[in-house]
Amino acid sequence: MNITIIGTGFVGVVSAAVYASFGNNVIGLDIDPKKINSLKLGKVPFFEPKLEDLLIQQQNSKNLTFTTSYEKAIADAQIVIIAVGTPSLPSGAVDLTYIKQACEDLAPHLKENTIVVIKSTVPPGIFKEIKPIIASKTKVNFYLAALPEFLKEGTAVDDTLNPDRIVIGAIEETVINQLTKLHQPFNAPIVTVKPESAQMIKYTANAYLATRITFINQIADLCEHNGADINDVIEGIGYDKRIGHHYWYPGLGYGGSCFPKDVNELASYAKKVKEDKNLVITIGKLNEQRIPKLLNKYSSLIGGWKNKTIGILGISFKPNTNDTREAPALKIIPELLNKGSIVNAFDPKAIWSPSNNSNYTQAKTAKEAINKADCIMVLVEWPEFINYKFPKVEKPTLFIDTRNLFEAEKLSSLGYTYQGIGR
């Protein structure tokens, strides 16, 4: 099939390479010429395991090309997949600017009966807004469908090649048939529903995962009052088949490019439809309060942040990505600098720096980041940190293990004062 993907960001590039790998003729389109030039040269402008190899392989086999021209990209497309960003507005509501712009720009080039698929995460009911935008700029018949994306950064290629399920939100039989045919090679359950259900499935999945993270943090906070260990609690509850051992991550709360914005967008939607007491509104608020609450606690453990040297391990929002969107480090480091700390941070892939602050250094190694630290904070479970041999220390050093990766006794024997989460 001839497929065009609009928006070659994280989701767009991965989808483009994977659809191409199933023998489709794929064009990736973006308005960012730097991104497109880099992709044309086989360079992925962010870190994602396995992606660059797949990209180069598909470009060499001529199944995958990139362009900035809407005219070139849309003219022969049978299916146009929109994967542009849908960030949150300051109010928490979704910002549909990029989606609407893409719809306006693709419309004049559509051929008869093209399917325009929204892969970006968007609230239910959005088709009522975008259908007139496209219709006002074309005379041909076109269809709309929803195809939410569930990949995880860090394992995006494997997730896309072997999805848990494909969700197709469409009404017309011809659309359902073509999208089902496109996804047959994925060998995954295909859930075919109304577009509104597909859009709710995406928000519900992320809101539920965010709720699990928030819930276990609430329990971890209670454990700290009574000597229980949250890891023991997780082990004990996990044998209940209704609960399971998977996906319990006590820590600093959820971050990343999706959960915070998707929960906020669903909360904003709940308020819009006057469901003012909906749980997702509370989940978002609890998550926002999480890091300030913990920083307050850690500050009292170390006697205030002023003039303390802090070694941060992990800047990305999770391991195996250099994505720093809504990463804990980006909330913690500015706060520590504001309070007068000297911060040295290291990450195996992510690069970040606050503007103009001589008290901040991005270290080249973990060793450099923790050198002479009064406090070490492990924020991300990169394998490099899990396997790191922390040195013996002579001066009092607080060791904050926000991922519960390390043994308290072992670190205490090396001279550290250990502080985990909920233990």
Residues with a catalytic annotation lie at 258
Instruction: Report how far apart, in Å, the C-alpha atoms of 294 and of each of 7, 148, 174, 253 are.
Output: 37, 34, 53, 10
The reply to whether 74 sits near ligand NAD by the rule CB under 6 A is no
Residue sitting closest to ligand NAD (CB): 9
Which residue, among 183, 174, 106, has the nearest Cα to 148 in the 3D structure? 183
Q: Binding segment for ligand NAD among 108-116, 145-153, 312-320, 333-341 (CB under 6 A)?
A: 145-153
Distance CA 313, CA 221 (A): 23
Contact 83, 6 (CB under 8 A): yes
> Least Å distance between CB 57 and ligand NAD?
21
Which 295-324 residues touch ligand NAD, going by CB under 6 A?
none
Give the number of residues written for the chain: 423
The reply to whether 120 sits near ligand NAD by the rule CB under 6 A is yes
198 versus 369: smaller Cβ distance to ligand NAD: 198
Distance CA 134, CA 105 (A): 9
Which residue, among 423, 408, 340, 338, has the nearest Cα to 374 in the 3D structure? 340
Residue 155 tokens read as 């394992």
4 versus 341: smaller Cβ distance to ligand NAD: 4
Q: Give me the 2-41 binding string for ligand NAD, x by CB under 6 A, dash otherwise.
A: ----xxxxxxx----------------xxxx--x------
Among 54, 151, 157, 332, the residue binding ligand NAD under the rule CB under 6 A is 151
The reply to whether 362 sits near ligand NAD by the rule CB under 6 A is no
Place of tokens 């450099």: 368
The reply to whether 149 sits near ligand NAD by the rule CB under 6 A is yes
Q: In sequence order, what are the residues at sequence separation of 6 or more whose Cβ sits closer than 8 angstroms to the Cβ of residue 3?
A: 19, 24, 25, 26, 27, 77, 78, 79, 80, 81, 182
The reply to whether 381 sits near ligand NAD by the rule CB under 6 A is no
DSSP per-residue codes, 247-284 = S---SS---SSSHHHHHHHHHHHHHHTT-TT-HHHHHH
Q: Binding segment for ligand NAD among 94-102, 211-219, 247-255, 337-345 (CB under 6 A)?
A: 94-102
> Least Å distance between CB 327 and ligand NAD?
13
Residues linked to residue 99 through DSSP beta bridges, in sequence order: none
The reply to whether 257 sits near ligand NAD by the rule CB under 6 A is yes
> Least Å distance between CB 398 and ligand NAD?
33
The reply to whether 121 sits near ligand NAD by the rule CB under 6 A is yes
10 versus 298: smaller Cβ distance to ligand NAD: 10
CA dihedral 303, 305, 309, 313 (to 10 degrees): 110
Burial 126-147 (b: 16+ CB within 10 A, else e): bbeebeebbeeebeeebbbbbb
> Least Å distance between CB 200 and ligand NAD?
15
The reply to whether 86 sits near ligand NAD by the rule CB under 6 A is yes
114 versus 257: smaller Cβ distance to ligand NAD: 257
- What angle do the packed helices 195-223 and 279-302 form, to 10 degrees? 30
Q: Binding segment for ligand NAD among 79-87, 190-198, 268-276, 306-314 (CB under 6 A)?
A: 79-87
Q: Give me the 158-197 binding string for ligand NAD, x by CB under 6 A, dash otherwise.
A: ----------------------------------------
Q: Binding segment for ligand NAD among 99-107, 182-190, 334-342, 387-395 (CB under 6 A)?
A: 99-107
The reply to whether 98 sits near ligand NAD by the rule CB under 6 A is yes
Contact 72, 27 (CB under 8 A): yes
326 versus 381: smaller Cβ distance to ligand NAD: 326
Q: Taking the CB of residue 101, how many other CB atoms lie within 10 A of it?
A: 14
Q: Binding segment for ligand NAD among 148-156, 177-185, 380-388, 391-399 (CB under 6 A)?
A: 148-156
- The residues binding ligand NAD (CB under 6 A) are 6-12, 29-32, 35, 83-86, 98, 101-102, 105, 120-121, 149, 151, 153, 257-258
